[in-house]
Amino acid sequence: MNILKSAPFLASLVLLIPPSASAMVDEAHSLIMEVAAPFVEEGFTIRADYWNGKLETGKQKLIRHQLFRGNEYWFWLATSDPGCSLKIEVYDAEGQAVTIERTDIPNCAGARVTPTKTGSYYILVKIDWEEASKAASNVGWAVAYGYR
Amino acid sequence: MSIPTSLKIGLSLLGSLLFSHSSLAEQLPTKLDLSSIPATFIDDVIVPNPDEVFSLMDKLPGQPDWSSKVRKDFAINKPGNRTTLALIFGTLIADGFVAVQAEDTEGVKNAGREILALSKTLGLEEAVVPHCNAIISACQNRLWDDVRGEIDQTHKTVKETMAMMQDEQLAQCVSVSGWVRGTEVLTGLVGDGYSPEKAEILHQPDLAAHFVKQLEAMDPETIESPAMQTILKGLKDVTRLMSERQELSAQSVTQIHEICAQILASIRADK
């Protein structure tokens, strides 16, 4: 997957986003769709549905989701708030991390998973300010996924 | 030859843009104690779309006979009750995916026409018409991935529009019945040529349990209807059967198929 080809373009897009304190979660989803575009060319289907909301920096959210052995998945976490570091990890039903590849570009982090069993998996997301001095605040986020 | 300073800075900046967060990702634990998770759960459940599940059948040995599962008879009883209409709507979304899997242009168009007709009755016409037009156009050009994407988008639009109309329960009905119709088709195909690998696709007990929980939380006047009671009881049985083991037995697959068929019959017969 040649995500790096589009990464400079995506990075420039991110830099163009005004540093607004009130992040819009739809902007986060739009960023994911930009990041996911090259994956579609590789045969991934990106789901129209996605998770979103506001998350206090430093706190974690957990999503439970059904995955199928035989499919390959990419999950992406994004925020439109600049200056955040994003973390995403996928766990199996025993709580074991199963991410086998990552992408990390400004404001978007991705995790690739190839499930060894069909069933429920857990996606843990966390957003921090890169500058430790910044106080905790709610930032808009979105998680979307693609499969093939 | 030395590298110009400006180029070094540029490369450094680009590198930091691309990889600045790669080390931070390691800070999440590699093992999570699911009994005491230091995180809040997201309540919103995204149900895998039928294509996500159906495509697995094509990856396993043995060619599934999708054509035999395409719905031909759309002589639907048109009930006045919005809950039943929403349940029928969900089955039609799944029917669209089945027809796409079979690459059956007429089957997709038939499902699309029924979706459009029901959307008018449900007051969703404005939201659904652009999707239906896109589905028909992509279908005529046999752009099956585009058709899949548009059906998925239709489902999302319908759920969002229902939520805006304060009809969250109807949106849930669409998801439940779509999953039941998809499971009926899947169990039929797995039963046609059983293998443990195929049967594992049906290991979805948490999803079935999620639907039970949603139905149980509905208004009493909604959940007390005969059709909803059939769905609720059926889904509880399906949850139990799907929980039994990772790779369901051939007998369990048959039982789930019969339960789903019974649920769908009760939806279609409801007034």
How sure is the predictor about A20, in pLDDT bands with cuts at 50, 70 and 90?
Answer: very low
Which residues does chain A have within 8 Å of residue B46's beta carbon, measured at their own beta carbons? 47, 49-51, 65
Residues B157-179, mean pLDDT to the nearest whole number: 91
- Spatial contact of B51 and B101, defined as CB atoms under 8 Å apart: yes
Tokens coding A88: 């995403």
Percent of chain A with pLDDT over 70: 82
Q: Any idea which residue has 């991410």 for tokens?
A: A99
pLDDT tens digits, B246-258: 999 999 999 999 9
Nearest-by-Cβ selection for B152 from A4, A47, A124: A47
How sure is the predictor about A24, in pLDDT bands with cuts at 50, 70 and 90?
Answer: low
Among B96, B110, B105, residue whose Cα is nearest residue B54 = B96
CA distance B81 to B104: 31
CA distance A84 to B5: 28
Neighbours of B254 (CB within 10 A): 17
Residues B158-184, mean pLDDT to the nearest whole number: 92
pLDDT score, position A25: 58
Contact: A64, B44; criterion CB under 8 Å: no
Among A123, A118, A120, A137, residue whose Cα is nearest residue A79 = A137
CA distance B216 to B234: 13
pLDDT tens digits, A86-131: 999 999 999 999 999 999 999 999 999 999 999 999 999 999 988 7
Nearest-by-Cβ selection for B200 from A104, A118, A122: A118
CA distance B94 to B69: 11
More confident residue, A119 or B163: A119
Which residues does chain B have within 8 Å of residue A93's beta carbon, measured at their own beta carbons? 34
Contact: B25, A104; criterion CB under 8 Å: yes
Q: What is the mean pLDDT of chain A?
A: 85
Most confident of A23-32, B75-84, B124-133: B124-133
How sure is the predictor about B271, in pLDDT bands with cuts at 50, 70 and 90?
Answer: low
Which residues does chain A have within 8 Å of residue B55's beta carbon, measured at their own beta carbons? 71
Q: How many CB pairs under 8 A join A and B?
A: 143
Query: Does B241 score more than 90 pLDDT?
Result: yes
CA distance B14 to B9: 8
- Spatial contact of B182 and B256, defined as CB atoms under 8 Å apart: no
Which residues does chain A have within 8 Å of residue B148's beta carbon, measured at their own beta carbons? 45
Percent of chain B with pLDDT over 70: 88
Of the residues A15, A35, A64, the best mutation for testing chain B's interface (the one with the most B CB atoms within 10 Å of its CB) is A64
Q: Any idea which residue has 């969900």 for tokens?
A: B90
CA distance B184 to B90: 13
pLDDT score, position B19: 43
pLDDT tens digits, B2-48: 444 344 434 433 444 444 444 444 478 999 988 887 788 888 899 99
Q: What is the mean pLDDT of chain B?
A: 87
Q: CA angle, corner B198, sides to B196 and B203, nearest 5?
A: 85
Tokens coding B128: 């659904």
Contact: B39, A124; criterion CB under 8 Å: yes
Contact: B32, A124; criterion CB under 8 Å: yes
Helix (H) or strand (E) holding B135: helix B125-140
Helices then strands, counting H and E runs in chain B, come out as: 12, 1
Q: What is the DSSP string of B94-121?
A: HHHHHHHHTT-HHHHHHHHHHHHHHHHH
CA distance B119 to B127: 9
pLDDT tens digits, B144-160: 999 999 999 998 999 88
Residues A135-141, mean pLDDT to the nearest whole number: 86
How sure is the predictor about B178, in pLDDT bands with cuts at 50, 70 and 90?
Answer: very high
Distance from the first to the final alpha carbon of chain B: 83
HSE toward the beta carbon, residue A91, CA cutoff 13 A: 19
ipTM of the complex: 0.86
